[in-house]
Structure 1
């Protein structure tokens, strides 16, 4: 089959770090052009908007949207209405209603739509899911703590309504635990810490129970300095499973079982290629639903101002 002709919208850090190298390395794709309001890409045709890109390059079959979530619904809807398959960076939208709308439209048009929970494709996630299947869980602890100044320098959109704040990385942890745990989760309590000068939280503590009553505690913090921590510990009656490095490494009772290089986006684009060929939709809203529940039910605490 001929390569999928793809356009990329939003030429920011995540696009340059992940999407562009993976597209270039995958023979299933041909990068035709990019669109950005204030960035270009050497050696590739660049346009100032999605509309301009699609008007100028009608051969484009699919678009990858790497823009902030607040404006993504309008872009995705426009691309679908113009007959293009769509890949959505995480989170797939600023609200659940937006994403439900995109799912309905993609199915109506017979087009592919992928909500990319990239952390689910870390190398140890599927082995962890397989090990936990059929076992009796007793508790789950998640610690997802990193330095926002390192990962999002000068990015104001993450602090605005719809930008999610600390849930921008925290939703990665939620995407993993909703995939590997045998039973669905229900949020019971949450505390969200908001800097007094910001519209999104800088830290959060979430307490879930799974449908059999197992406690699941998640702590997210954007004020971490020094080593960053992306860890999930699952206690079972058969031993303790630990995922480290965001799902790149797994151990059982402290004994390493797997540690491999990161290949999350390569796996995502392989999946998107299949979805495009089959014109299918793959959109799991569980991680975003838990974030929405935290904003709905969480206790809000004001903390000191944050300055980048």
Structure 2
């Protein structure tokens, strides 16, 4: 709970500079891990945009990838004015029999290869998929992350704790009103959280009344690039199930419905990142508000509400 005292330092120039340096040093450690494991060079001046978690359609790694394709397409079209360079890191494992999850991993790796192989793209976008994501990797990833992707379909995530870990380490969250995101946003305030997408109620209503999907021009361009085979030139048809999932008349994951809102939120992220001081202040506020999710608080609640343990001189802290 003492973390809340950090709120008093958000106007302290010297402290903000020190905070920024610590984050920069942690980004350097993460970049070294990516270079070692993925042979991809992350530029420390770029926004570090991270999504690491179990691969599942409801967690919507695919929505993240569609946005990356959107950025990639913009770069190829020469639409790079005011584009904020970013490094996108993904990681996670799929259940042995989960074919679509494994195909999403394949797509992520193919996309990363195309991005990192194109000198036109390198100044604006880089991407890596971390193999064998585990706790040891997370110890490096979490402190080096600047943007935490918590983008599951609203109403599908029971809770999740990865978003709490990122928040405590000063990452800003882009996310839906789902699971612990709701509490995180309440604690840190809406101005320090990048919200997008349908609510759980809207998702449920849409699933009940859903007819044909409506695709925005931006999403249609992304789909066209996928259909062209650009990311699977020597593997024709391999991503057809992904295209079919996006175009499905009734998509319970609401990819098309949330795509434009997600892209707009990402533009807000990019514009905010340009103001380094404001970004660091938001980072400090996220850490300051994260005590609510600490193990100390959790154990204290168990002590008082579940175990009914009496406080002693040793545990009354």
Q: TM-score range by the shorter chain?
A: 0.3 to 0.5
Structure number with higher relative contact order (C-alpha < 8 Å, ≥ 6 residues apart): 2
Q: What TM-score, normalized to structure 2?
A: 0.36
Richer in strand (by share): 1
Richer in helix (by share): 2
Q: What TM-score, normalized to structure 1?
A: 0.37
